[in-house]
Amino acid sequence: MEEAKSSRRYSLGPPWIFKGRALYQLHLVKADTVRALVPKDLRLVEAFGYTLGGMFLAHYEDSPAGAFDELVTIAGIVWNPPTSCAWASRVLVSSHEACQHGRKDVGLPSHYASFSKRIDAIETATEVKQRSFLNFLGLDRKNDNKQKFVKIEIMDTVTVSSAALCNISIPMTGSETNKSWMGPHIRMSLPSFSGNTDDNPHLLKYSCQISCSIRAVEPAKITATDSLKMSCGNECQIDDESSSTLASVDSSNSKNVQLNSSTENEERQRSISVLLSKPILALEFNHMTMQVDAPHIVIHKPSKMR
C-alpha cells in the first residue's frame, strides 16, 4: 500500500518535495582526480589544481518515495556560460523507486545502496588527557561523556553484487534529540547540472530550493572500506593505469560488458577519491524541506578553455 502511494506521488509530477535533514560537506578535490568524471565539453572550475567538490548526505523522512537515505558525491563545479553548477558523479539511494526516478526523470547517475547505521561512543584524545589529570589528582570519574558518533556503512550495489563502499562517521551535535540550537532558518537554491547518461544523454539543469535551519558543524570522517580502494590517505588520486588494474570483470562476459564494468569501476573509484579528499566546511540542514524542480535541457555552448 505504501509503495503504491509513493508511486502515485511521483506520478503527480514536479515539483517533487523531500523533507528531512542533511549534511552538506564541501571538499577540496584535486582537479586531475575528477576531470574524467565531468563531460569533456564542460570546463571544470578550478584554482591552483583544485576544484570544490564534496557530498550531500540526507535522510528523508517524507518524499514521493517515502523515507530513504541518499548520498550524493559532488565531483566538482563546472562552468557553462553564463552559470556554474555542481556536478554529481554518483548518487546512492536506499530506495529502488528513488533510484529509477533519479535516472529517468532527473538524469542523475543513481544507484541503489543500503545504509547501515549505529551509534558509537569514542573517547577523544582530549578526554584521555583530562581523565589522566583527574586520576593524578585522585579524582577519578566515570567515562559517561564520551564523544558519540553516528556511523553509517554504505553498501553500493554493483551489477549483481554488493560491495562496502565507505564508512561515514558523523559527530553527534545534540540536534538529534532536538535539544540544541539548530541555527538560523534560511532559504537557498542549489543549482546543478545532470544528464549525459544512457537514460538522459542531453545536458540538463535543475535546481533544489531548500528551506531549513542551518549551522556549521564538525566535518564527518570518511573511510573507504571497498575492496577496490587504494592505500592513498586523505588526498586520494587515481591514475588511468591503476584504474584499469582495479577493474574486476568476469572473463565469461562479452567485450562490451567488460568495457562497461571497467568504466563503472573507474567512476566508482574516483568518486571514492572525492569522498576521501580534504573537507573544508560542513553544514547541517535541519527541519529541511527541499523542492526539486523538473530539469530542462541546456543548449550547450562549448568552452574553449579546459
pLDDT digits (tens, 9 = 90+) for 232-270: 444 444 333 333 333 332 333 333 333 344 577 788 888
CA distance 38 to 279: 20
What would the mean pLDDT of 214-223 be, rounded to a whole number?
94
Phi and psi at 262, nearest 5°, equal -65, -45
Q: Choose between 45 and 158: higher pLDDT.
A: 45
Q: What percent of the chain shows pLDDT beyond 90? A: 51
Query: Measured in whole angstroms, how far is the alpha carbon of residue 117 from the centre of its chain?
Result: 16
CA distance 88 to 208: 13
Residue 47 CB coordination number (10 Å): 9
C-alpha to C-alpha distances, 114 to 92, 97, 153, 172, nearest whole angstrom: 9, 14, 8, 21
Whole-model pTM over 0.85: no
C-alpha to C-alpha distances, 124 to 83, 113, 128, 146, 297, nearest whole angstrom: 43, 31, 6, 7, 49
Q: Choose between 171 and 284: higher pLDDT.
A: 284
Looking at residue 82, its pLDDT comes to 77
155: pLDDT confidence band, cut at 50, 70 and 90? Answer: confident
In the chain the domains, ranked by start, together with CATH numbers, are 2-119+148-297 (2.40.400)
